[in-house]
Amino acid sequence: MDERTYCLTPEQWRHAKACLTLAKRLGLIEDDTPAALEKRRAAKNAAAARCKADGTMVYGVRHYSAPAYLQFELTRFKLDFAEPCGKIRALGVCPDFTEAQTRAWYDANRDLFTRYFGDSFSYEESRQIIEKRMREEVYDNLVQDILCESADRQGRE
């Protein structure tokens, strides 16, 4: 399996593999290899096929292609971190933010909180979204750290 299987550039594939590595480190998956990714995809597709055969309603995607399943997992991992699932909370890796931190982020990014006619959402209306965006930034930094580890290893070889 390589980046062509998932319709990615080599750089995008490196990023995807770093996200899989982070998911493994966080305990969201047991194996971050492409072979394990394909096993999870096959299991997901088989579960949907069983539901269809049993006449059970299947919501959402009924068959994942390799690229679609990869994107599904990468999105799920980021959401599990940004809207912390139990595993993530238990690890203590997902930060909580102070009022001052979220207020400062809101003030620095007010343009993100405007309605169609230009009026703004208040800080109070936006606080949950702000915290989620801040956690997404932390997640992206963790992925970047893994990419740097990989680059450091390659530089020493």
Q: Which pLDDT belongs to residue 154?
A: 65
Listed residue (132, 30, 147, 130) closest to 81, CA to CA? 132
pLDDT at 153 over 80: no
pLDDT at 115: 87
Q: pLDDT tens digits for 130-146?
A: 999 999 999 999 999 99
pLDDT tens profile 82-132? 999 888 988 888 888 999 999 999 999 999 999 888 899 999 999 999 999
Q: Which two tokens stand for residue 50?
A: 């069983």
- Half-sphere exposure for 53 (CA within 13 Å, toward CB): 6
pLDDT greater than 90 at residue 37:
yes
CA distance 5 to 91: 33
- The torsion angles phi and psi of 54, rounded to 5 degrees, stand at -80, -5
Say if residues 48 and 58 touch (Cβ distance below 8 Å). yes
Task: Report in angstroms the alpha-carbon separations of 105 from 81, 108, 110, 115, 140.
Answer: 19, 5, 8, 18, 16
Q: Encode pLDDT of 41-55 as tens digits.
A: 999 999 999 998 999
